[in-house]
Structure formats: C-alpha cells, structure tokens
Structure 1
Amino acid sequence: MRKYSFGFWIFAVCAIAASGVLYGILFYGRSSAIGAIFALFVCVPIIAFERGAIFPRLYAWISARSTPVYIVLTFLVYYALINIGFTVCGSLLWWLGFLQETTWAEATMLPENVVFYALGVSAILSFVTRIRELLGRGIFVSLLFGRYRRPIEEERIFLFIDLVGSTSFAEEFGDLRAQQFLSALFAAFAEPVRRRKGTIDDYVGDAAIITWPMRRGIRKGRCIHCVFDILDSIEANREKWLRDFGRIPQLRAALHGGSVITAEIGVDHHKITYFGDTVNTAARLESLCRTLESPVLISNELASRMKLSGDIKSENLGAHAVRGRGQSLGVIALTRDKQLSRGSVQPA
C-alpha cells in the first residue's frame, strides 16, 4: 500500500470540499456546506482507491490489466464508490435532520450530473497528485510558483546513494531483471526520504540523488537518519529481497552540503537543477566509499554543523584529495549502534 503524508490528505480534503461548494454554486446558485460534505463522501473514496489506501489488491489487479480493460474496470469501481458514498452521506444527513425537505429516497438518489462532476474532480486531483509525484513534492511547488525562474544562491545538502554490484547483477540476471531490481530499490527509498522531509532530485544509473535545504536537512539530523532509515528498511525486508531477487541490496552513501546556485532550466521540458562545487564534491565523496571501504561517509564541513547523538558512531578518516576540487576534503565515516535507542541529531 502506498503511504502519503498528512499534508497530502489535508490538501485533498480541502480541494474536494471546495469543489462541493462550487458544485452548489454552479447547479443551485448558492454555496452550501451540504455540498462540501457530499463531495467528501463521494470523492475521498475514489482518491483513496486510486492512491492504494483502500482495496490495494484490487487496485493492483486492475492496474495489471490491458489499457482498455483497465479503463472499463476503473470506471465501474469509481461508479460504485460514488453511489455508495452518496447513499451513505444522504442517509446520514437525512437521519440527522439536515434534509428534512426531502424523503429518504430523494436524499439518496444519485443525480446524473453528480456522477460526471465527481469523476471530473477526482480525475483532476489524481492528475495533479501524479504530476506532483513525478516531479517531487518540493520541485512541483517550486515550478508551480516559479520560485527558481531567476537563479538564486542557497545552501543545500546532497545525499548520493549508490547500489553496489549493479553491473555484476545485470551480467548474471540480465538488464531487464537489473532494472526491476533498481526499481524496487528506489521504491524503498521513498518512505524514508518522505519521513525525513527530503526530496529525491534525480536517478542517475544505479544511484539516487536526494536533497534538502540546509536548515531542514540538519534539523534533528534528518539527512543522516534518512540514510540509516533506508538501510534499516532494506534489512527489515531481507527475506523478501532474497525471495524476489536472490540478494540483499548493498549501498554506498555520501553526504555533503554547502552553497549552490539553483535555477529552473528548459523550454519544452522544465527542470530545477543545481550548479556548483557542492554537488560535484558530494558525487566525488560517494566514490571514496569504495576506496576507504566505508559504506556511509559525510564531509567534515557538513558534520560540523550537527551534533551526533549516542547511537551514531563517527570515525574521522582525515583529509582526502577529491577529483575536481582544488583542496582536500575532511571525511568522516558513520555507523549506527542498533543496540542503542535512536536519538536525534541536533544542529550544533
């Protein structure tokens, strides 16, 4: 089942309620809280089904059908949910006395225009949320409001996290199977990144690039805990990884932060991208994981901004030359003692 943040559901509920008020204005010439309530009962189940929050197995089964069959089955499910939602809402409001001017049959009889209106509202919300997911939550909002139309300088944290042994996996099982392995791995990143309020900026081959605004990323050590949350998620599902792919993913991760220039680029295809030494250094630091035989590295510059809690163990590996950088970079290896309780990592 796909999980979504509390903020997503607040947005969905507010948008649906507003559509109900608009429905009253369009069809009855007046706004009404009753319309908002009906809209919530009718549209929320559709959004919840489309998001996999209810009947996830049915949704997965329908999604696996061919496109024509998928469209027909989806319409039938939506129509059933609209009827159920409208009947339940009409019955409840009639029983509470808010629809005294009508009979129960009239209160629960689904008008034809409600069906088309509910389907339209649900389709628009689903489209917006899919675009939001495709671009990323933070990027979607920034593109929508044109925050980076003019390049700006800001401080950001970058996490480069890479799958170890992807080439050998592809040679053994084939490119298609390797892509399925990567897709499952990247899907496992989503919840820890969302929980730690990061944004998956891009996927490059077998690596993912995750970013935070500096202040958000160092608060409570979110950027560090995100790495170990991902590792914990993989470890907790080791049996499933072995069953599905015959091996458990091994990762290398590197964290670095600093000043970057952020800008929206492109004409037909818009993208928010980051320029500067900070991004390149984070990428080069990730390549040091293999050389230094440490799966999780953080630059001394970024680590100095946070105070590590007792469960996070650090080892100073000294300064190392980084390709493309004029000066050496202080490097720290991170591990976590699972026997200790998870504490927060506070800004220094």
Structure 2
Amino acid sequence: MHATRAGFWILAPIIGLVAGLLYSMAFDAELFVSAVRGAFIGFPVLLYERGLLLRGWRDLIRRAATPIFMVATVATYVATIAVGNAAAGTILNHGFGYMPDARAAMMMSESGFAYALGISALATFVFRVRDLMGPRVFASLLIGRYHRPITEERIFMFLDVTGSTRFAEEHGDLAAQRWLGAIFSALAGPVHRSRGSIDDYVGDMALVSWSMERGTQDAACLRCLFDFARVIKDDSEQWIARFGEVPTFRAALHCGPVVTAEIGLERRKIAHFGDALNTTSRLEGLAKELGVDVLVSGDLLDRLGQMPIEFLVSDLGSRPLRGRKEPLRVATVSERTIQPFTGGFQA
C-alpha cells in the first residue's frame, strides 16, 4: 500500500506534465513552459482527488446532490488551477528567467485557463460517474475486463448494520435511510485504504470484496473491518448528536472461486456468481445465531497464513451451513488492543 502511494507521488506530476504537453501541441505554446505549468496544475488536482488535499471539503461535497457536487468541484479545481499556475510562474521566472517579472509569469492566457477549466469539468464528470459506480466497477467497465465472464478467486465480506429495523420503527424510514447512508459513507474510507471494493448495498447490508492478492496482503480484509470499527468509535459523539445512537454491526468473511461478468444492457453492472458468495451470506446468518461480531471461514484463515500479532483468532469448530453438504470450519476474530466499547461492533 505504501509502495502504491509512493508510485502516485511520481505518477501524478507526470500526468499533469503530459496534459501540459498536449496543450502546447494544441495551441502552439512553448513546450517547456506548458509542461511545467501542467505539472504544477495537475499535481494538486490529483492530490485532491486522492483525498490527500482538502480531504474534509472533498468528503463533504461528495455527499451532496450531483449539481452541487459539479459546481463545487469545478470551483475547487479553478482555485487549484490558479494556485498551481502561480507556483509554476514563480519557478519559471526565478529559476529560468521566464518573462520580465514574477507577476507576469504567474498570469495565465485565456486559452490556457479555458483548457484547464475544460479538463477540470471533464474530470469532475468522470470522477462523479466513478463515485456512483464504484472505482473498481468503473475501471473494469472502462477497460472491458469482465466483458467476457472470467473465473477468479475473491474474498467477500458481508457487513450487516444491526438494529436498523428498530431504528426505522422509532425514527421513520427517511431517518433510517439517512442513518444507513452515513454509515456506508463512513465505510468507504476503510475499504479504500484496504484496496477493496464495495460491490453492492442490499438494505442494511454492504457487500465488500477484494482480489485474493490484495485482501490477503497483511490481512487487509480484516484490517478494513477493524479500521471501520475505529472510525465509528472515534466519531461516537457525532453519531449520538446526529442520530441519537452509535451504529453497531457484524460481519462475515469467506473466500473462493467465483465467475465475474458484466450483466445488463441499459444499466451495466459487474456481478459475481458462485458458491463462495452464497456461503458468505450464510456465514453472516450463522454469526447472528452464534451471537458473534466477526465470523471468518477456515478457508480464508488458511489463505491469510500467519496472522498479524494484533489479531486474536478463536476457533469455533466446524458448523453446518444450509445448502452445503459438508460443515465449514469457522472462527471469530478480534483485536487484542481494542477493549469492548459501545458502538462499532455489537455491544
């Protein structure tokens, strides 16, 4: 994960530089100057989109309606363009003697501003579509990865928000929807940090998945779950202030081969088919029966290998599951460093 972020710090300015070179070819501008301006303008925009710059503001407007999101994001891009261009102009003037004074070097031509604004508007639209579809689904549809069904191994997590029916009865369906929306928004960060994908929402349940390589690396699938528990716990006062209580949840994790394919025509979707997905769903029901917060299959534990020291695994033996001929070995997992608390996992 750290290597991926390090690569981004190299890739981001290169992307901006390429955009600057394209501008120079389109408008017959100075090649070197356009490249420098492109790097300084594109780099902070990409930092912003990765949540490394103005993260709180970015998260706030991503929750807004699409028209508000579009206007606010383009306005943010314009401000970023102005600052990046000013930084580039200063360096071009002081470092390379470009233009007689720094103030003139920081000015942007009308064509340059229109180009940057047009690219920003296009990027805003693309990123909004990506948010609506999910980064993994968007990228996979874009490159046609699952246009033909393929068999792959994935890790699945069913995360169920407990008490949602009671909450709806007490506060109404609209309040319950806002509550679930806030919970699933809070889940996005931990899933992103673990390099997973939120594949679907079904009522009060979220389906999260990882490729086998990403999910098993340093037990990322489990780290995502406990990361989410900490996010809920750390914001417990805000949850109480907004909704009168702190969310609780339980989760089940399993892995195995599935067939993944694009389905639908007017509304395209990437869907998984196979026993691994069905088994994960049944494990979530078993977790409820056993009264445990986290239930992990023995198959996944075997694939995770040496468990990180902070996780404590408690074997629950082999349990029968509806629809399976053979019982499945299961265990519950907890963090050694976390004491029981109200919120996050069930109290």
- Range class of TM-score, shorter chain: 0.7 to 0.9
In the alignment, the residues of structure 2 paired with residue 23 and residue 268 of structure 1 have an alpha-carbon distance, to the nearest angstrom, of 35
In the alignment, the residues of structure 2 paired with residue 170 and residue 227 of structure 1 have an alpha-carbon distance, to the nearest angstrom, of 25
Shift of 1:124: 1.9
In the alignment, the residues of structure 2 paired with residue 116 and residue 235 of structure 1 have an alpha-carbon distance, to the nearest angstrom, of 45
Shift of 1:274: 0.6
TM-score normalised per structure 2: 0.84
Uncovered stretches (5+) of structure 1, i.e. residues with no partner: 341-348
Is residue 2:318 matched to residue 1:319? yes
Aligned to 1:164: 162
Q: Which moved more, 1:84-93 or 1:19-28?
A: 84-93
Aligned to 1:277: 275
In the alignment, the residues of structure 2 paired with residue 95 and residue 17 of structure 1 have an alpha-carbon distance, to the nearest angstrom, of 20
1:247 match: secondary structure:
coil
Q: 1:194 aligns with which of 171, 192, 195?
A: 192
Shift of 1:56: 4.8
Aligned to 1:208: 206
Kept in 1: contact 2:16–2:41 (CA 8 A): no
Shift of 1:231: 1.3
Question: For 1:108-137, what per-residue CA distance to the aligned partner results, in whole angstroms no more than 9, with x for missing partners?
Answer: 333111111010111222222333333333
Is residue 2:14 matched to residue 1:14? yes
Q: 1:252 aligns with which of 250, 253, 257?
A: 250
Is residue 2:34 matched to residue 1:35? yes
Question: For 1:214-259, what per-residue CA distance to the aligned partner results, in whole angstroms no more than 9, with x for missing partners?
Answer: 2321221111222111112212222221222111111110000011
Is residue 2:48 matched to residue 1:26? no
Shift of 1:193: 1.3
Q: Which amino acid aligns with 2:38?
A: A
Aligned to 2:342: none
What is the number of residues matched between the two proteins? 334
Aligned to 1:93: 92
2:145 match: secondary structure:
coil
Kept in 2: contact 1:318–1:332 (CA 8 A): yes
1:304 match: secondary structure:
helix
- Give the direction of change, closer, same or farther, for the CA distance of 1:10–1:168 in structure 2 (3 Å limit): farther
Shift of 1:303: 1.3
Query: How many percent of aligned residue pairs carry the same amino acid?
Result: 40
In the alignment, the residues of structure 2 paired with residue 264 and residue 249 of structure 1 have an alpha-carbon distance, to the nearest angstrom, of 33
Aligned to 1:218: 216
TM-score normalised per structure 1: 0.84
Uncovered stretches (5+) of structure 2, i.e. residues with no partner: 340-347
Q: Which amino acid aligns with 1:318?
A: G
Is residue 2:159 matched to residue 1:178? no
Aligned to 2:344: none
- Give the direction of change, closer, same or farther, for the CA distance of 1:83–1:155 in structure 2 (3 Å limit): closer
Kept in 1: contact 2:61–2:69 (CA 8 A): no
Q: CA RMSD in A?
A: 3.2
- Give the direction of change, closer, same or farther, for the CA distance of 1:82–1:226 in structure 2 (3 Å limit): closer
In the alignment, the residues of structure 2 paired with residue 132 and residue 56 of structure 1 have an alpha-carbon distance, to the nearest angstrom, of 19
- Give the direction of change, closer, same or farther, for the CA distance of 1:308–1:37 in structure 2 (3 Å limit): same
- Give the direction of change, closer, same or farther, for the CA distance of 1:291–1:15 in structure 2 (3 Å limit): same
